[in-house]
Homo-oligomer: A and B are copies of this chain.
């Protein structure tokens, strides 16, 4: 009645794109998270530092939009980064509702350090793929993400 007889092919689930994506994202996220944790950092910290370097000075709301982190979590993230001297936060003189968030020198150095950590993590994850395959994977994912209008792409 169950006519299995294979023992290797797992059926629909094993080839389902959404499932493969979830699995791959899970592995990649674990590797990245462990790497950052070993360096005493968090995914949120890297996202904020890298976004500040890429886009320059920003308000907290702007950082939330660009990183995809919730405004609420941004508060705690910036408190941690500020406490470590990696960013400066001061009220915007032009619009006193806003905080102006700036990357400090220490923040820039920390970002470079974490860039190394991240590069290693990506490499560890992508190790079974050739350079061409890695590029193609990134391209395909980019097409999907852009098509579905992920806000903070």
Number of this chain's copies in the assembly equals 2
Instruction: Give the A interface residue count (CB, 8 A).
Output: 60
* Contact string against B for A residues 1-39, beta-carbon threshold 8 Å, 1 for contact and 0 otherwise: 111100001111111111011111111110110000000
Interface flag for A84 (CB, 8 Å): no
Select which of B12, B55, B66, B133 is within 8 A of A54 by beta carbon: B12
Is A57's CB within 8 Å of the partner chain B?
A: yes
Chain A interface SS verdict (over half): helix
For the complex, is A79 an interface residue (Cβ under 8 Å from B)?
A: no
8 A–B contacts from the bound complex (CB under 8 Å): A1-B56, A4-B55, A10-B66, A11-B51, A17-B141, A20-B141, A23-B145, A133-B143
